[in-house]
Structure 1
Amino acid sequence: MRVLLTGSSGWLGRYLAPRLRADGHEVTGLDVAPGADTDIIGSVADRAFVDRVFRECGIEAVVHGGALHKPDIVRFPRQAFIDVNTGGTLNLLEAAVAARASRFVFTSTTSLMISSAIREARGDRAAWIDEDMAPLEPRNIYGVTKLAAEQICRLIHAEYGLPVIILRTARFFPEDDDTHRDLAGENMKANELLHRRLTVEDAADAHIVALDRATDIGSGTFIVSAPTPFARDDAADLKRDAPSVILRYFPEAADLYARNGWSLPASIDRVYDSGRAERVLGFRCRTGFAEMLDALRSGNRLPVAHDASYVSPKD
């Protein structure tokens, strides 16, 4: 298929574009910044530009990974988030309908499911987060605009029948967390594989599966995160004493962490449940906490990319 990939210069795009091509697709990379996999420079917020890309490139399917993200809140006004994340998604969807495209995959975020109460860990147990959690109360303009874009995806599917798959991806960014700096970056990323992270390679693979399955499924929203080892019954203990729960599942973890000078999380405030993606979409991340421990045990390269100096191409 002739696939339009937005965000092709970004962290996900640089992994996803080669995967799409390896599957035999003809990829047109679109981004606001140049990159090795970007063919066209421009913004999805420009409707005339989007229409021209569809017309000139004969686009048959869309993988929409381009967006302003949470760290961009300090660099861009709220209106830019509305224009790009919400308006840009509408532009692409309507252009896809007009071009009779066969499918649309939208990269969303688990961030839109995190309210201020969850973010501040106010409860006495870890929040168990799946696609049925409601109400959704995003705490910033990033989450608000991504949730609005999801709703537009569902509306376009309902009105025109365009197959649309929404992937609420957990964390896979390579840089340090911009709000939590109490642990070294690799240590934090390892801990997050227990409950709120996936590798960028798994994120790319999830999009490949979604593109393939879109016409069979029609419309669906899926959390994409490394499979958690925990059960809902662990939620209270995870909040109160996470190491005791982790060591029940992974008895070697304490020794392996100690050898590396790392720390297990004292408390876990949320768990992303990616079970629906496995059951319905047929996708399961290859890398989780067990694979991280395997790497620590063997001394092999860690499976999660970390680059404290990473800067988005658009910046």
Structure 2
Amino acid sequence: MRVLLTGSSGWLGRYLAPLLSQNGHRVVGVDVVPGTHTQIVGTVADRALVDRTMADHGIEAIIHGGALHKPDIVRYPRQAFIDVNVTGTLNLIEAAVAAGNDRFLFTSTTSLMVRADVRAGAGDAGAWWMDEDFGPLEPRNIYGITKLAAEQACRLVHREHGINVAILRTGRFFPEDDDTHAVPSGPNLKANELLHRRLTVEDAAAAHLAALEAAPTICCDTFILSAPPPFGREDAAELARDAPAVIARYFPDAARLYAHAGWVLPDRIERVYDPSRAERRFGWRARTDFGSVLTALAKGGPLPIAHDPAYTSPIVAQEREACTS
């Protein structure tokens, strides 16, 4: 299948493009900055560029992974988010319909589910249990607002034209340090997040491949992508009070292994993302989870999570280079 992949120079793109190729797909990468897997440099906000790319390359399916993200809020005005995240998405899915494509994948984010009360902490029942039916949705910044608007645009075009749409709300998979949490930091924080809100970039790429191939059976649906939490909804109240006690029931060796590594377990877990719908509907389940980290710690092997505090997105790297040249 000839697949148009946006965001092909980014963190997800560098894993997803080769995975698609390895599975027999011909990938045409589009990004605003050059990259190994990018054939066309330009913005999806340019409808003429999108239409030309579709025609020139005979595109049969689109995976729209490109976007302005939360860290970009300090660098770009709100209008840029609307142009790229909303108009760009509409340009792509309308072009897919015009070309007779039968499937469209949109990479969204769990961030749009984090209302002010969710961000403030646990709810009355303890940790928020967040599946695809969680609502109402009231995104807290322009990033979440535009991603939600883009989701709605995809649903609208599906209703009007019948194109199969998979909306993939990814949990965290970035390699750099968190921009708000200083303690714990680095791999310790990422390992903790695998309990409830993170996945590896490799698993995110695998989910996109699985959704692409299953799209005709999906029709139009939304999916949370995250490592499977070991907890059940019945643990929600205790997770918000004493997360180490709950973790100990599922992973008796966790405290010892963490202490040996000089790490700390979370005192509280106040929200849990539930990715089970993706497994039920198209067979994807993250291969790396919290247990994978404990196994690596026990064996003294490499951690199964990418951590690169020096990582910068390609667009930021390009801007810095331009400023110093």
TM-score normalised by length of structure 1: 0.99
Aligned position for 2:105: 105
Q: How does 1:40-189 map to 2 (within 5 A)?
A: 40-121=40-121, 123-124=123-124, 125-189=126-190
For residues 15 and 92 of structure 1, the distance between their equivalents in structure 2, rounded to whole angstroms, comes to 22
1:74-117 per-position Cα deviation (integer Å, ceiling 9, x unaligned): 11111111110011000000110111112111100000100011
**After superposition, what is the alpha-carbon deviation per residue over 1:62-82, rounded to whole angstroms, capped at 9, x for unaligned?**
010000011111111111111
User: Which amino acid is 1:270 matched to?
Assistant: R
Q: CA deviation at 1:184?
A: 2.1
Give 1:122 shift.
5.2
Q: Aligned letter for 1:204? A: A
Q: Which amino acid aligns with 2:246?
A: V
Aligned partners of 1:228, 1:221: CA distance in 2, in Å?
19
Q: Is the 8 A contact 2:20 2:209 kept in 1?
A: yes
1: CA distance between counterparts of 2:74 and 2:123? 28
SS at match of 2:80: helix
CA distance in 2, matches of 1:102, 1:279: 22
Provide structure 1 residue ranges, at least 5 long, that are not aligned to the other structure.
none
Q: Distance in 2 between matches of 1:181 and 1:243?
A: 20
Query: In 2, distance between residues paired with 1:133 and 1:281?
Result: 20
Instruction: Tell me the equivalent position of 2:321.
Output: none
Letter in 1 for 2:253: E
The number of residue pairs the alignment matches comes to: 315
Question: CA–CA distance in 1 between the matches of 2:25 and 2:86?
Answer: 27
In the TM superposition, residue 239 of structure 1 has moved relative to its aligned partner by 0.7
SS of equivalent residue, structure 1 residue 314:
helix
TM-score by length of 2: 0.96
Letter in 2 for 1:93: I
Query: Hey, which bits of structure 1, 4+ residues long, moved more than 6 A?
Result: none
Deviation at 1:244, TM superposition (A): 0.6
Q: Distance in 2 between matches of 1:74 and 1:246?
A: 36
Counterparts in 2 of 1:197-216, with a 5 A limit? 197-216=198-217
2:85 and 2:146 in contact (8 A); partners too: yes
1:228-243 matches, within 5 Å, as 228-243=229-244
Rounded to whole Å, the distance in 1 between the matches of 2:138 and 2:195 is 24
**Structure 2: stretches of 5+ with no match in the other structure:** 317-325
One-letter amino acid of the structure 1 residue matched with residue 273 of structure 2: Y
Matched, 1:29 2:29: yes
Point out the more displaced range, 250-259 or 275-284: 275-284
Report the residue type matching 2:233 in the other structure. R
Percent identity between matched residues is 67
Distance apart, 1:34 and its partner CA: 0.7
Distance in 1 separating the partners of 2:282 and 2:146: 25
Aligned to 1:2: 2
Give 1:298 shift.
0.5
**Deviation of the 1:131 alpha carbon:** 0.5
2:285 is aligned to 284
Secondary structure of the residue aligned to 2:315 is coil
SS at match of 1:262: coil
Shift of 1:199: 0.4
Cα distance in 1 for partners of 2:8, 2:300 equals 33
What is the alpha-carbon distance in structure 2 between the residues aligned to residue 281 and residue 312 of structure 1?
30
Deviation track 1:103-158 (CA, whole Å, cap 9, x = no partner) reads 11110000010001111215351100000111111111110000010011111111
- Segment of structure 1 superposing worse, 62-71 or 116-125: 116-125
